[in-house]
Amino acid sequence: MLERCIGERRLRQIQRGVQNMKLTFLCLLLTLLVLRGTIGAGKYGTPQQDFIELRQRFISHPHRALAEQNQPEPKPKKSDKDDEPPLRSLNDPYSLGPKISDWDSQRADWIRRHPERPNFLTKTKPRVLLVTGSSPKPCENPVGDHYLLKSIKNKIDYCRVHNIEIFYNMALLDAEMAGFWAKLPLIRALLLAHPEVEFLWWMDSDAMFTDMAFELPWERYAPYNLVMHGWDEMVYKDKNWIGLNTGSFLLRNCQWSLDLLDAWAPMGPKGPVRTEAGKILTKTLKDRPVFEADDQSAMVYLLVTQKEKWANKVYLESAYYLHGYWGILVDRYEEMIENYHPGLGDHRWPLVTHFVGCKPCGKFGDYPVERCLKQMDRAFNFGDNQILQMYGFTHKSLASRRVRRVRNETSNPLEVKDELGLLHPDFKAVQHHAS
Amino acid sequence: MGHEGVGFKSGSTRSGLPTTRSRVPRGRQIQKTFNNVKITVLCGFVTLLVLRGTIGVGNLTGSTLESEDQRVVEDIDRILREIRTDSEPEPQDPLSSLYFANSTAHNWTYAEAVEAVNYSLGPKISDWDQQRQVWLSQNPNFPNRLLGKHRILLVTGSPPNPCDNAIGDHYLLKSTKNKIDYCRLHGIEIVYNMAHLDKELAGYWAKLPLIRKLMLSHPEIEWIWWMDSDAFFTDMAFELPLEKYKNHNLIIHGYPDLLFEQHSWIALNTGSFLFRNCQWSLDLLDAWAPMGPKGIVRELAGKILTANLKGRPAFEADDQSALIYLLTSQQDKWMSKVYVENSYYLHGFWAGLVDKYEEMIEQNHPGLGDERWPFVTHFVGCKPCGSYGDYPVERCLSSMERAFNFGDNQVLRLYGFAHKGLVSPKIKRVRDQTSDPLQVKEKLDMAARITM
């Protein structure tokens, strides 16, 4: 019937036209698919996104950390909101606590009244409190807590051998000074509560002791109140933001230190204060990236801008690794074992290996996870070997958790001395005086 | 036009109209089929390419941020698996061959197995007291007393690998902080062990070679205090009454009636006990160790213990049951120097204590150490590090958090803070700052009542 309306020729033309259209349409569809697969179509989704969605729906995520990443941020509970302090405005000055001006005499009186807790253990060795800490909440990374545990064991070992007390902090004393600034209110509280402590040694939780035999040169620091690893030229001349490191430093318990803390704190309060301060720091300091104010940059800024006031009591130590950046140390451990020995503390056998940027407790740090965790194991074992040798053991290798015996048991254990002399070292000896 | 129409018409009669199919030349048909096949093959090829490009595993030239993260996630999974497992093979248990080789031919008895294994903690020492005395007199810089108090070394530990359950490591960390706090306040040194010193005495028996090794390496230490990793200090003010123990060498929490009359397998608790550094202790360790070696000895010993101790389930020999059996079967030899302490909770079983903390805060004060304010809360059976314990996980974890915070409050008090509640990690200020902090410090009493 159609034939008669249009005519055979016409009909065939139409048929051919329709077939061509079909082919064109099919090809267009294919092209779109391929393009979507390779270049992606943004909010309309890519096949990879489809795959991820499918996977998520059907397979449960084994890890807390990564599941959180794919879920939207949970709405903050009302109770959390109440705890958050209102953000401090720029013209509202922050204070760590009521001003104290006579701390040196208060402290001297107390020490005089309590001779059983002297601030010096021997003529030269001060009473030291090592302070470190971590969050009271479980780590987001499933093995983060395990590395924190190994790190504190490492510190317990060094401090037992060197007669140093430890304070492990898990409390946020001031919500305004959260993050890297949390150490300031903590340090002040500890200095004031422990007048018997002569030096407070702050150490980050991602720093490990790798030289168990190295005793700090306390006599060198007698004229100083703040000892940090760093270089004078990099701080005072270059104004470089990594000219010093606040991951491991010594602070004397005295009025000067309280004043320093008060001068250091203003850039810390969360919110517009910290953000604005960050801009000033990036502008003033060399190579500093753009981010909110951190305690280390603020310290450099303080020393540079108020040099006359503080610099004469600050010692920037570079003769040994009071802080040792892990990147240049961890691959050389075997070389060190072959060529050197513990007790040097410097590039030959670092006192501290500091895993800056690794963040084992958080989700992802600045470095690949594998390198960080494996190297932390090596650093831990490197230090642990020096402790185990006291008892006649050593790790099978720097990567192995297992230990093997290197010294046989004997029926005269007291005649055997450990190679490094760490069982009864001089720096642990008690002042021999009539008690 | 007319010509065309004619021409067309004549052509059409020759072309492939359906009605005249038989008249279509073969060639044309084959060509058509060939064209179809070409198109089909081409389409199939393109489909395969597209599928490979989208769902296929591997390189995507235009990978998005999500796929990058996906790869990192897979990497982390792999790394965590590697860290958790030990890539080295388990060392061959030298005794298993002994067992399996002869098990069909010979029924081993416990005595035979012990003799065959011939385990020893180390070369026999018989004059340790004298050796120690000589050393102490030669080393006045390492006395066994500090400020009049005997030196104590607290020993604890955990396995070197990450916990099967990630939250387990978090509570090991909190438990360690808790021990650091108590020991700092009381002048006690800590050894945290993560090494398997003796592969035969693995598991709960690992403390025996460790205690012996530490005793012999540290003659200046008078008391070695073993404490399990799942035990928390909940009374920061309590001081061990060491004068009570001047004639004893082993201080252990337990109940004499359960021990001597009932021979109960929980009459004593080896989760928290003190050993004096002396010859007697070395001898006791030597007498205690034989039931420990892994394998056939431990299994057969377990059967003896289950048969002789009340309430003991059937499983391999554990150090606690073995000690109870040893002390009850050789009472005359050992018991005169063992102090079975229950006037305070040197070990306090958690289930009966954790719910009463608020009541204790209201009615009592630190420093008592007993049921009014327990010295140690010990989470027996919880096993947060392993895959399963004897109690529901949630109850264990929230109770451990409460015990930790209960103890932590007594430490934070020195700095003017307290936890917001026993379950909360958040803290609040309970004492205002002052410009005269040492006046406050002078008045601070560790044993004063806690206000929350």
pLDDT, tens digit, 9 for 90 and up, residues A132-145: 999 999 998 889 99
Residue length of chain A = 435
d(CA A151, CA A153): 5
Give residue B97's pLDDT.
54
Residues of B in contact with A116 (CB under 8 A): 147
d(CA B49, CA B56): 10
Does the beta-carbon distance from A143 to B192 stay under 8 Å? no
**Least confident among A85-89, A415-419, B274-278:** A85-89
d(CA B350, CA B45): 69
d(CA A221, CA A219): 5
d(CA A387, CA A390): 6
- Chain-centroid distance of CA A139 in Å reads 13
d(CA B442, CA A112): 13
Read off the pLDDT band of A41 (50, 70, 90): low
**Least confident among A157-171, B52-66, B209-223:** B52-66
Q: Please check whether residue B410 is in contact with residue B236, taking contact to mean a CB–CB distance below 8 angstroms.
A: yes
Collapse the DSSP code of B171 into the 3-class scheme (helix H, G, I; strand E, B; otherwise coil) and give the result.
helix
d(CA B153, CA B136): 17
Output B84 or B439, whichever has higher pLDDT: B439
Does the beta-carbon distance from A37 to B189 stay under 8 Å? no
Residues of A in contact with B417 (CB under 8 A): 171, 173
Output B9 or B257, whichever has higher pLDDT: B257
Record the pTM: 0.83
Q: Is 50 exceeded by the pLDDT of residue A61?
A: no
From the list B141, B162, B427, which residue is nearest A172 (CB)? B427
The arithmetic mean of pLDDT across residues A93-110, rounded, is 94
Does the beta-carbon distance from B124 to A411 stay under 8 Å? yes
**Least confident among A194-198, A404-408, B17-21:** B17-21
Residues of B in contact with A143 (CB under 8 A): 80, 83, 162, 166, 169
- Chain-centroid distance of CA A299 in Å reads 17
The arithmetic mean of pLDDT across residues B395-402, rounded, is 96
Read off the pLDDT band of B59 (50, 70, 90): very low
The arithmetic mean of pLDDT across residues A395-407, rounded, is 95
Collapse the DSSP code of A166 into the 3-class scheme (helix H, G, I; strand E, B; otherwise coil) and give the result.
strand
Output B389 or A240, whichever has higher pLDDT: A240
Q: Please check whether residue B165 is in contact with residue A138, taking contact to mean a CB–CB distance below 8 angstroms.
A: no
Provide the Cα torsion A221, A222, A225, A228; round to 10°: 0
Q: Is 80 exceeded by the pLDDT of residue A257?
A: yes
Does the beta-carbon distance from A173 to B194 stay under 8 Å? no
Please give the DSSP secondary-structure letter assigned to residue B189. Answer: E
Interface test with B, best of A110, A409, A418, A427 (most B CBs within 10 A): A409
| Residue whose tokens read 């327990």 | B374
Residue of A nearest to B219 (CA): A414
Give residue A181's pLDDT.
96
d(CA A128, CA A163): 8
The string of DSSP letters for A382-419 reads HHHHHHHGGGTEEESSTT-S-EEE-S---S-GGG---T
Q: Is 80 exceeded by the pLDDT of residue B85?
A: no
Q: What is the average pLDDT value for chain B, to the nearest integer? A: 87
Query: Which residues partner with B146 through β-bridges?
Result: B149
Does the beta-carbon distance from B433 to A393 stay under 8 Å? no
Backbone torsions φ then ψ of A315, nearest 5 degrees: -115, 120
The arithmetic mean of pLDDT across residues A43-72, rounded, is 45
Helices (H), B187-278: 207-217, 256
Give residue A88's pLDDT.
84
Q: Is 60 exceeded by the pLDDT of residue B244?
A: yes
Does the beta-carbon distance from B414 to A412 stay under 8 Å? no
Read off the pLDDT band of B387 (50, 70, 90): confident
Does the beta-carbon distance from A171 to B412 stay under 8 Å? yes
Q: Is 70 exceeded by the pLDDT of residue B376?
A: yes
Count the alpha carbons within 13 Å of B70 in the hemisphere toward its beta carbon: 15
d(CA B315, CA B5): 104
Q: Is 80 exceeded by the pLDDT of residue A285?
A: yes
Q: Pick from B381, B374, B426, B367: which is nearest to B401 by CA?
A: B426
| Residue whose tokens read 């490979």 | B52
Does the beta-carbon distance from A98 to B434 stay under 8 Å? yes
Q: Please check whether residue B253 is in contact with residue B346, taking contact to mean a CB–CB distance below 8 angstroms.
A: yes
From the list B46, B54, B125, which residue is nearest A411 (CB)? B125
For residue A245, the surrounding DSSP H or E stretch is strand A244-252
Please report the beta strands in B333-452, taking only residues with DSSP state E, as ranges in sequence order: 338-341, 376-378, 417-419, 427-429
Count the alpha carbons within 13 Å of B292 in the hemisphere toward its beta carbon: 25
**Other C-beta atoms lying within 10 Å of the C-beta of residue A235:** 24
**Other C-beta atoms lying within 10 Å of the C-beta of residue B307:** 9
Residues of A in contact with B176 (CB under 8 A): 149, 152-153, 156, 168
Does the beta-carbon distance from A145 to B169 stay under 8 Å? yes
From the list A8, A48, A116, which residue is nearest B147 (CB)? A116
Q: Is 80 exceeded by the pLDDT of residue A76?
A: no
User: Per-residue pLDDT tens for B95-106?
Assistant: 555 555 445 456
Interface test with A, best of B54, B417, B444 (most A CBs within 10 A): B54
User: Per-residue pLDDT tens for A303-336?
Assistant: 999 999 999 999 999 999 999 999 999 999 999 9
d(CA B309, CA B326): 11
Query: Which residues partner with A201 through β-bridges?
Result: A130, A250
Count the alpha carbons within 13 Å of B240 in the hemisphere toward its beta carbon: 29
Say if the ipTM goes beyond 0.95. Answer: no
Give residue B79's pLDDT.
72
Output A242 or A70, whichever has higher pLDDT: A242
Query: Which residues partner with B374 through β-bridges?
Result: B369
Collapse the DSSP code of A167 into the 3-class scheme (helix H, G, I; strand E, B; otherwise coil) and give the result.
strand
Interface test with B, best of A31, A146, A151 (most B CBs within 10 A): A146
